Structure 1
């Protein structure tokens, strides 16, 4: 289905074409007509399905087409992380480039100038505000946020926001909004707590299910069963053996990210790290360098597992086994985007074997296990269904050796 089939305003069509959007994805085909018709929507849709454009496009079109309260926020998009807020704001800027629709991202970690800009937009009115819950609630508590003309509320990655403990903040924000509004809720999964929240927020919603339960078939999935002490030397070995367009490595903790980044820098690789200890300016700078290709390797916590929109990642490496199958699909889904092929490698330690077996059950098939090169010492067997001893290095007690889419065309001057 072409985007011209939705009968969008020509100014929005210009932005769509400049952003190199062509065919609508399944979630866009189903969600866009519902939003244009004024329906509330609850959609199960993961990153990579096109859900961001599924709500931004009809939102922009409705704002263009309807008389607005110039001194109020028209639409509020609530997301779990500053990275996702920034990314959606960038999509918004590109798609609305040829319109007069205004938008701003509101998130923590900025400086005094960012706060002043946010306060001005929230008090004077803006068409679309994309925010994280905590920062928006802080502004609301100061008493100047203008919601009286708000018409749209969008909750993106609602399951992740609840996992991060934002339920109370979200409900406080919603308590400050007009009761009459259109509501859209997007979530990768639909556990009971999401459906309970949906019942409190949405009015007779249409339900869409575009959840991707299995990874892209173009992703080559591999796993190495290792001891913890073998992980860093094996990462170095893999990155030296083959050159990938770019490499995204996920670790389960900030300490692991920092340690691995230090070790990889010693190999002279173009590598950097992203985690919540970094100031926002630094995180944006690192991500920009990775997107532009100045960095070959990015080591990150799960802060980047959802929402990062980079089309040329050749390898996703799970330094630690993800928490569950959904997280696994999100992580490895960062590769093999935009019709490309990609590789996903997971390191499975002794204590992570049962967790990885659960992920394989979700996938419906085992992930092929590669042989750990013998120079790194003996590796553990993969026996997730049996009792496994506490990891001490090896069964002999000897530890192994250490070792964006193209931007829109500019307006004519």
Structure 2
């Protein structure tokens, strides 16, 4: 497959996994994390000759689950080891296909948490033979609210297992969460919060009214083969797509699309039949497309770590790439936090000729400060007229709508909700200490 030497994360993680130790591994995106856990697992299964369910891999998105499954198929082509992707969003036919595949049997399941829980609740999966649990992009799964789902899944698993957690970032909440179901894990951290060396990074200080013209200007500079544009919301993705599709070969990718549409768009982008993809952070993880030349952050990411993931779509496997971020006044503090995380100052490019002057970038804008920008409908003005006056009237003051009791600090008492006990279709089986050591499940009493 053209692999000549392991990447740093592969070199450090593979021996630990081969030793059956639990592991927390953190490395920047695009460094070969998937192969780092797939290769040793395949090696174990091949040597042991197991033909039952051996490994469960959890991933945050459908796209990442599909991609991991495809990589397993490539690595295991001559091994006779099978895998099944389990994810939601499909029709009834897909649901039946997944259930049938599970009944037929496979050594590896790659699943999104929500769909897996639905199958577990229906009693469709027997996990008693499972030896390995892999959590890929664990930080993203927590950001998407899958923490409780993961703990529910863990309680279906044998205690005598190996658990491996991979993540591109390692905030304290991830470390605290992982200790609930990992047993004395080894830890590996490589270039945490850093972007790849091959990425040329730049930013433009702009008003929101200037963004559309600026993105058109950038895309017109050359015939790009592969570009991803990130916007903050799916509504913004849809509106920007309507503007750009008049001028460029572009597709929009967002959560409102049916699964079959998402797969068609992703396939077209990977095959370079679609040159430009615009979407939300749903595509900032799990897209391994060769040769992405340019990343445009139409909106500054709120989380600095999301910037690392977005930019990580380019310059993968020692390739070169470019990343450009648009920063409006109210997002300057976000960009300052990004620079602090990656440990470098990003070059500010001047706006192209014909554009009105953008806001001054200070890097210390107050969080939540409104960005009124220019009064013009567009920040691009060939006539370069300026000096307009803001004639807006201030909003009249409103009386405080709180009651007197609320003003004095009194509020109506709210009855605390009783926490629901987790429900399971089967009782977790008691397992004697094995080769992976003694561990607790999340619901075990102290």
Q: Same fold (TM over 0.5)?
A: yes
Cα distance in structure 2, aligned partners of 1:74 and 1:377: 61
Partner of 1:400: 378
Alignment of 1:36-115 (within 5 A): 36-68=18-50, 70=51, 72-115=52-95
Q: Cα distance 1:390–1:198, how it changes in 2: closer, same or farther (>3 A)?
A: closer
Cα distance in structure 2, aligned partners of 1:128 and 1:387: 49
Cα distance in structure 1, aligned partners of 2:168 and 2:366: 33
Partner of 1:347: 326
Q: Which moved more, 1:240-249 or 1:250-259?
A: 240-249
Q: Cα distance 1:386–1:50, how it changes in 2: closer, same or farther (>3 A)?
A: closer
Cα distance in structure 2, aligned partners of 1:340 and 1:51: 17
Cα distance in structure 2, aligned partners of 1:339 and 1:156: 22
Task: For residue 241 of structure 1, report the CA deviation from its aligned partner.
Answer: 2.0
* 1:271-307 CA distance string (max 9 Å, x none): 0011111111111111111111111111011111122
Cα distance in structure 1, aligned partners of 2:377 and 2:265: 35
Cα distance in structure 1, aligned partners of 2:147 and 2:271: 36
Among residues 242, 249, 267, which one is paired with 1:262 in the alignment?
A: 242
Task: For residue 151 of structure 1, report the CA deviation from its aligned partner.
Answer: 0.9
Partner of 2:252: 273
Matched, 1:356 2:338: no
Cα distance in structure 2, aligned partners of 1:369 and 1:328: 16
Task: For residue 391 of structure 1, report the CA deviation from its aligned partner.
Answer: 2.1
Task: For residue 401 of structure 1, report the CA deviation from its aligned partner.
Answer: 4.5
User: Which segments of structure 1 move beyond 6 Å, counting only runs of 4 or more?
Assistant: none
Cα distance in structure 2, aligned partners of 1:204 and 1:216: 31
Q: TM-score, normalised by structure 2?
A: 0.82
Comparing both structures, which one devotes a greater share of its residues to helix? 1
Partner of 2:14: 32
Contact 1:158 1:186 in 2 (8 A): yes
Q: TM-score, normalised by structure 1?
A: 0.88
Contact 1:392 1:399 in 2 (8 A): no
Alignment of 1:366-377 (within 5 A): 366-377=345-356
Task: For residue 35 of structure 1, report the CA deviation from its aligned partner.
Answer: 1.3
Partner of 2:173: 193
Matched, 1:293 2:275: no
Partner of 2:112: 132
Structure 2 unaligned spans of 5+: 382-446
Matched, 1:225 2:244: no
Q: Output the aligned Cα RMSD.
A: 1.7
Alignment of 1:108-123 (within 5 A): 108-123=88-103
Among residues 289, 304, 316, which one is paired with 2:283 in the alignment?
A: 304
Contact 1:73 1:122 in 2 (8 A): no
* 1:210-269 CA distance string (max 9 Å, x none): 2443222221111111111111111111111222221111111101111111111111x1
**1:241 aligns to what SS in structure 2?**
coil
Q: Cα distance 1:386–1:261, how it changes in 2: closer, same or farther (>3 A)?
A: closer
Cα distance in structure 2, aligned partners of 1:97 and 1:225: 49
Cα distance in structure 2, aligned partners of 1:59 and 1:340: 28
Q: Cα distance 1:276–1:212, how it changes in 2: closer, same or farther (>3 A)?
A: same
**1:42 aligns to what SS in structure 2?**
strand
Cα distance in structure 2, aligned partners of 1:340 and 1:190: 25
Aligned length: 380
